[in-house]
Structure 1
Amino acid sequence: MEAPHSGLINNAGAAFNPATGKSYVVDSDGSSVEISNDRTGTTQSVKVGAHPVSVAVDSRNGRAYIVNAGDGTVSVLDGETNKVVATEQVGDHPYSIASDSTAGRIYVTRTYSNQLMVIDAATNQVSSIEAGSPDLLVVDQKSHTVYLLSYEMGDLLILNGVTREITRTSVGMHAWGMTINQKTGTVYIAKIGEGRLAAIEAGSTQPIYIETGGIPCALAVNERTNTIYVADYSGNSIRVISGDKKKLIATIPVGSRPEAVTVDADHDRVYIANTSGARISVIDGVANRMLRTEPAGAAPYVITVNPAFRKVHAAALGAKGSVNLQDY
């Protein structure tokens, strides 16, 4: 069975900032980021570093941080003016990024390195922590805990962001996507080779496994309902998991080769980027059924949503600019 796209394709290539109401989508080939302001209906392309792959936003200072894999930098964008106010060197092969807005820290992984880079959001000063070679990360903003995942081996490092103490555990090989429910503190990790999720509850180091079937490759959480939506790459479907029951409760057919998913919790909508089908699917999260699919014009692989305006923004492989969808 064909595996999901790998390499520098990163599901963190799009983000919405609730502090400014702006959405950010990387344009890797164009070495730029597309910034959409849905309130004014405008989109601006801003040049950043070489080959940007992921983006995080700081809801406290309003800034956006763009990881540029091609030149080992992070571009810092002002949330109001959209200007690049700083470019910080973080070292070769930066990949994923996450923000702990309440603590004022931005974390960046570096593939093939044993260093996790840390940017001080107040000063832009860069420091590092020896943390193996993680690919993905998520941050629990209540406890300031950072979860660092290695794709191939499934090593999981749990970093105390205050003391910098690291606890090591494992969820097994071929761990692919990762997300966190900020309300419960539970981390979910997709196991593409096993057809299941690994769930790490807050304060625990031992995974609980939840069967999904298929090839789970990307996931997102509706924190209001404690529901996890998992893109099944092989089954062209979304697997719906109850976070309370820790079990599969529904399977919803979508488009061809879904590789990214995002949730609008305010309106119980789920949006899926179907990379091979060049379409975006819209799911009703209450009825657990697909409402419709919309053409994306290319191969969408990352996706985010602005709940206030019900506007969806996605990046597509080999396409310049972002793909936009207005929901009803």
Structure 2
Amino acid sequence: MKMDKKFCSVALASTTIVLFLILTLSTISIATAQNTSSTAKYAYITNSGSTTVSVIDITTNKVTATINVGKYPYGVAVNPAGTKVYVSKEASGVVSVINTATNKVAATVSVGKKPWGVAINPAGTKVYVANEGSKTVSVIDTTSNKVTATVSVGNYPCGVAVNPPGTKVYVANSLDNTVSVIDTSTNKAIATIKVGNLPTGVAVNPAGTKVYVTNEYDVSVIDTTKNKVTATVTVGKYPWGIAVNPAGTKVYVTNYGDGTVSVINTATNKVTATVTVGSYPLGIAFSPDGTKAYVAKETSGAVSVINTATNKVTATVTVGKEPAAFGQFISSATT
């Protein structure tokens, strides 16, 4: 009888250990799968009227975290791997680096005066920050979180974008009505392109052949082989944010002055749809598969979600005070 009890105890203990191992390994596997597949699941919305960044799960359209980054966060860019987020803070002249695994600020990098636009190269090794107050672009090495170069550009640089090969950076100089072209191998401006009045937002198509720039009244289309404007597209009132869909077939433009988003067909350079989103839309970015566009609305404290197949608003997500989200606030990763 004692032997039977001992056998049962051993068997029970063994079963418990096996079950524990199965559950532990399953949990680890699930967590690993979630970590691997979630790199592009989140939108990082800078709330310019406060000190925070709101994190939206783009699968559920729910805010899952709020990160304290310091006063007046404005520009934002997520690295291609989805592991880091870079946030410019205009008043303090710094960029905060968020670790997305912990949703905590892991580093702070001093740049130029009044940093606005932020962009990351496709390799995730360099971050380019447009400093409106110092007529420069700061180049940050992402390994060391140090500024390794400062590039002189035009007057009041605002939006910034990197081409797909990572060889060129395009910067909108708002008070010069120009776009500077930076060669990333030398960190020198190699061309200056005349565009429309008061350019702000910049986006490059996936092929790297076209650059789209929002001006006060329209959008300039630049041919990158010629560094010349080849088309001008009239959109809504005071266009600001701009994004190209992953297929390169459509450009979405936020019209700050009339609460709409213009949809441009890139084959014809014509507006094919106008989506009403609400007051003062600013930043815009696509989900990695291009099925949704997210629009930050500065005065309403919310983000509108557009179904790109129907060009209808399908959700509204409440975030922080005065969301700007100026830049690529969703990772481009597709896994």
TM class by shorter-chain length?
Answer: 0.7 to 0.9
Residue of structure 2 aligned with 1:52, choices 65, 68, 73: 73
Shift of 1:51: 2.5
CA distance in 2: counterparts of 1:29 and 1:136, whole angstroms: 19
- Name the CA shift for 1:272/1:158 in 2 (closer, same or farther; >3 Å): same
CA distance in 2: counterparts of 1:75 and 1:276, whole angstroms: 24
Q: Is the 8 A contact 1:279 1:293 kept in 2?
A: no
**What is the number of equivalent residue pairs in this alignment?**
290
CA distance in 2: counterparts of 1:175 and 1:235, whole angstroms: 18
CA distance in 2: counterparts of 1:24 and 1:74, whole angstroms: 15
CA distance in 2: counterparts of 1:115 and 1:267, whole angstroms: 32
- Name the CA shift for 1:122/1:280 in 2 (closer, same or farther; >3 Å): closer
Structure 1 partner of 2:175? 152
Structure 2 partner of 1:199? 221
Identity %: 25
CA distance in 1: counterparts of 2:91 and 2:209, whole angstroms: 33
CA distance in 1: counterparts of 2:306 and 2:63, whole angstroms: 26
Q: Gaps spanning 5+ residues in structure 2: where?
A: 1-36
Q: Is the 8 A contact 1:20 1:79 kept in 2?
A: no
**Any residues of structure 2 matched to 1:237-256 within 5 Å, and which?**
237-256=260-279
- Name the CA shift for 1:27/1:276 in 2 (closer, same or farther; >3 Å): closer
Moved more, 236-245 or 299-308: 299-308
Residue of structure 1 aligned with 2:140, choices 101, 119, 124: 119
Shift of 1:274: 4.7
CA distance in 2: counterparts of 1:116 and 1:294, whole angstroms: 34
Shift of 1:118: 0.9
CA distance in 1: counterparts of 2:306 and 2:55, whole angstroms: 25
Q: Is the 8 A contact 1:49 1:70 kept in 2?
A: no
Residue of structure 1 aligned with 2:125, choices 104, 126, 135: 104
3-state SS in 2 of match to 1:92 = coil
Structure 2 partner of 1:34? 54
Query: What's the TM-score once normalised by structure 1's chain length?
Result: 0.74
CA distance in 1: counterparts of 2:305 and 2:45, whole angstroms: 19
Q: Is the 8 A contact 1:97 1:109 kept in 2?
A: yes
Structure 1 partner of 2:284? 261
Q: Is the 8 A contact 1:60 1:102 kept in 2?
A: no
Residue of structure 1 aligned with 2:231, choices 186, 206, 209: 209
Moved more, 38-47 or 214-223: 38-47
Structure with max Cα Rg: 2
CA distance in 2: counterparts of 1:76 and 1:307, whole angstroms: 18
Residue of structure 2 aligned with 1:182, choices 206, 212, 215: 206
Structural RMSD (CA): 3.4
Q: Is the 8 A contact 1:109 1:116 kept in 2?
A: yes
Moved more, 22-31 or 51-60: 22-31
Residue of structure 2 aligned with 1:229, choices 252, 260, 264: 252
Give the structure with the larger helix fraction: 2
- Name the CA shift for 1:206/1:152 in 2 (closer, same or farther; >3 Å): same
Query: What's the TM-score once normalised by structure 2's chain length?
Result: 0.73
Amino acid at match of 2:47: D
Q: Is the 8 A contact 1:238 1:251 kept in 2?
A: yes
3-state SS in 2 of match to 1:176 = coil
Moved more, 293-302 or 159-168: 293-302
CA distance in 2: counterparts of 1:97 and 1:120, whole angstroms: 13
Give the structure with the larger strand fraction: 1
3-state SS in 2 of match to 1:228 = strand
CA distance in 2: counterparts of 1:89 and 1:307, whole angstroms: 26
Greater relative CO, 1 or 2 (CA 8 Å, sep 6+): 2
Structure 2 partner of 1:25? 45
Cα distance per residue 1:15-74 (max 9 Å; x no partner): xx9736443222344423334567897733333343222222222482222222222222
- Name the CA shift for 1:103/1:257 in 2 (closer, same or farther; >3 Å): closer
CA distance in 1: counterparts of 2:301 and 2:71, whole angstroms: 26
